[in-house]
Amino acid sequence: MNYSSLSKSEQKDLLTSLQKEYETIKACGLALDLSRGKPGADQLDACMDLLNALDANSDPHAENGFDCRNYGLVDGIPEAKKLFADLFGLREDEIFVGGNASLNLMFDTLARAMLFGVLGSERPWGKEPVVKFLCPAPGYDRHFRVSQTLGMELVTVPMTPQGPDMDVVEELVKDPAVKGIWCCPKYSNPDGITYSDETVKRLAEMKTGAKDFRIMWDNAYAVHDLYPDKKDQLADIFALADAAGNRDRIFYFASTSKISFPGAGVAIFAASKANLAQILPYISAQTIGYDKLNMLRHVRYYKTAENILKHMELLATYLRPKFEIVLSTLDRELGNTGCAHWTKPNGGYFVSLFVKEGCAKRTYELCKAAGVKLTDVGATYPYGKDPHDSNIRIAPSYPSREDLQKAMNVLTLCVRIAVLETMVKE
């Protein structure tokens, strides 16, 4: 039943009925959280044996003989580089292995650019009159916050089912003040979109006004497939950039945050050897080295990229039913109402819900009052401002299935109320 086809009196009657249902639920005192893409307890439990990969009797030396208990080896142990090179299709000599958070590496990368510039810069970015950064939206709020915190001007680029709108991107990058673009290329946060081959190729080949333009390639969900028979494939950005003579353009990031433990994983940064030669002296001034015992622990536990992929198949058995709860509830409660549309990703951590324009904030308020916490409305857009007041990011991973179903029932009810409220006023 499409709500727009109802008469005004029918809309009011339905709204009254839904409001009564809402008041009953509100009285239950729920406390449910759909706000962040954190692994659930079942996923974390599946990784507990990782803690036994090293103990007091373990050999603490890396394969090159380095004692991982000590200072040094600022760019990481060689076996960790090999493991991640095999997993992500990268070159071992272009990988830097860091701490637990790729976001830390991303922030440091752009902070260094502001202080010192990057390879090919005429001056530090911080000495430019203005530094602009392209932000495909809906996108990852923490990406936007990094650039904003460093004083950059955020420029919104619309997302399409193929990735960022490349016609818009190619026009904007003619401006030499545009220094880079954020990309979450596989199962993007929050839409779950994987960039098409054409999009990746155009990003790798495009002409830019800034000679020191950089692509922040945050491949956070590279191996996070939900369905064994429906795995999205992402083109090799390094190979395409190399063919176009733009290998230095790529700053690549990934981590084990949603493979092992988010609070105790391993993150990597990959870039051309020329880029690393420019960057490593600054990192060496910042740290004597990251946690090499944790790197060794991950290598000793997983051993091969193939084993990591098998582990991800196990984690998918925990995640897949949760995504199916979200999608089936959206279909059942909103499918024929005309209130919303949503993405149906094959992997990643989120579902992107687009409610009727002007109704997202009201939906958020209703959910909050009923005890369901959502990501702040607008967070998926630069400066926290959704121009259409429409997007809501759903993060199914953290709650139990039972709690997730309760939360989705509340969310879809609140969407219907928010939309009907606008309709009866029109």
pLDDT digits (tens, 9 = 90+) for 186-195: 999 999 999 9
- Indicate the helix (H) or strand (E) that contains 267: strand 267-270
Structure tokens at 21: 């249902």
CB of 200 closer than 8 Å to CB of 351: no
What average pLDDT does this structure show over 346-355? 98
Structure tokens at 387: 């121009």
CA pair distance 128, 196, nearest whole angstrom: 33
- To which residue do tokens 């991640």 refer? 84
Distances in Å between the Cα of 175 and the Cα atoms of 18, 206, 265 are 51, 13, 38
Cα of 267 vs its chain's centroid, Å: 14
Tell me the torsion sign for CA atoms 408, 409, 410, 414: positive
Of 282, 335, 276, residue with least CA distance to 114: 282
Specify the pLDDT at position 52: 97
Q: Which domains does the chain have, with CATH numbers?
A: 3-44+309-425 (3.90.1150.10), 61-303 (3.40.640.10)
Specify the pLDDT at position 368: 98
What average pLDDT does this structure show over 196-219? 98
What does pLDDT average to over the chain?
97
Specify the pLDDT at position 303: 98
What average pLDDT does this structure show over 288-302? 97
Which tens digits make up the pLDDT trace of 401-420? 999 999 999 999 999 999 99
What average pLDDT does this structure show over 356-373? 98
Torsions phi, psi for 203 (to 5 deg)? -65, -40
Specify the pLDDT at position 10: 97
Residue 351's DSSP bridge partners are 394
Whether 426 shows a pLDDT value over 90: the answer reads no
- To which residue do tokens 């190399």 refer? 242
Which tens digits make up the pLDDT trace of 132-154? 999 999 999 999 999 999 999 99
Distances in Å between the Cα of 397 and the Cα atoms of 22, 34, 287, 315, 407 are 25, 8, 34, 11, 12
Secondary structure of residue 80 in the 3-state scheme: helix
CB of 279 closer than 8 Å to CB of 112: yes
DSSP 209: S
User: Angle of helix 102-116 relative to helix 273-286, nearest 10 degrees?
Assistant: 90
CB of 53 closer than 8 Å to CB of 297: yes
CB of 394 closer than 8 Å to CB of 415: no
CA pair distance 194, 345, nearest whole angstrom: 9
Whether pTM exceeds 0.95: yes
List Cβ neighbours of 77 (8 Å cut-off, separation of 6 or more).
62, 63, 64, 66, 68, 97, 292, 295, 296, 299
CA dihedral 155, 156, 160, 163 (to 10 degrees): 40
Which tens digits make up the pLDDT trace of 268-280? 999 999 999 999 9
Distances in Å between the Cα of 385 and the Cα atoms of 219, 332, 382 are 25, 30, 6
CB of 155 closer than 8 Å to CB of 134: yes
- To which residue do tokens 């600022």 refer? 74
